[in-house]
Structure 1
């Protein structure tokens, strides 16, 4: 992946920034002061946003097939500007950021069935892992991303026949354990743990994904096991999660699980066909403190359903 950070002018410490190989290069955006902009309801900053995409294409990097842009281009009607500049866009549903505030757990635990491209407005959401700063939490997520970037946050649902439980896996982030069997259509919608981006707007609570209310009472919520560690062996990974939320209901104390182990092959997405949710199996272990889960591709005609 290549790119650069576009600025209006070169910063005073540009030399020091160029020496830091961990930072992307700096590019100066073209002057747009003479560019006509007659849309009354828009902002002139939209011109510069559009020109940035044109400038990126003009860099003419070799062996580049795609230039990724977020849904912000549509919000500022920038799509039309880019068309006039001769830059073609391909609309890919799901490849965009979600503007939310507060606790983004619900979105991360039930991410839509599309690859994760970016986490947006990090400064407006809580740290994505408990007991960590925002920076440490992101670094923790990157441990899993570096092992299997295409599988990160991919949600898998399976049922524990032994105890009639529902297991929801968000790979690289968390495992949610429901102490009862829940139909698949009721598990997939995103729990609204977050707040809407803008208040008062009639469309503020409307999202591009299905949502469901987050239970206010702790004992009505699933038990959450957050990412602890991940390792790669050959072309498969093993991920360990543990319960960091010390909220215990009576039914949960009886079961006693405190750790989860997940085994999954490295994911290689096929962009020539529509994505399909993977299946998983829950296996019994010698210890009642451990739950072993294996993620795999579903069979050709296999269904994800509650077992009687």
Structure 2
């Protein structure tokens, strides 16, 4: 497994010995964001898909993404993903545990709070068309909705896997920057 914590800025105060590798997110100011009351950072978080693929690590089978407060158990993640062929196009995750979020944003979308996985073969294709999708979906709220919409354009639906679920625990002191974890040989 390899990982990278994407941040919008890196300061000298960040202690690299206590963190996975830090990656600086690229500038996304050229993309429109028109969701009233939303956060522009949703574009930057969504674009982490492209930036992770661009790291060009060898032998990557799965790209796994989660929100800033998502915790992945590596052994469980590998066991779950090993059931699927990474050479085929897979978008794996689970719906939100909150009905209202599903009603508003879609029942076919994996929610970032629980994390989702994209097979390497699909991620490589998605990365090539993602920026044009961001242009078309400027009106959406979150990053996971943008990823879902771009995958839908490619004809890929969600493979619902209940193992991607969220345990909600409110602890404002445990917040860290957006992380991405992906599985390789």
TM-score by length of 2: 0.43
Question: Relative contact order, CA 8 A, sep 6+: which one is greater?
Answer: 2
Q: Which has the higher strand share?
A: 1
Q: Which has the higher helix share?
A: 2
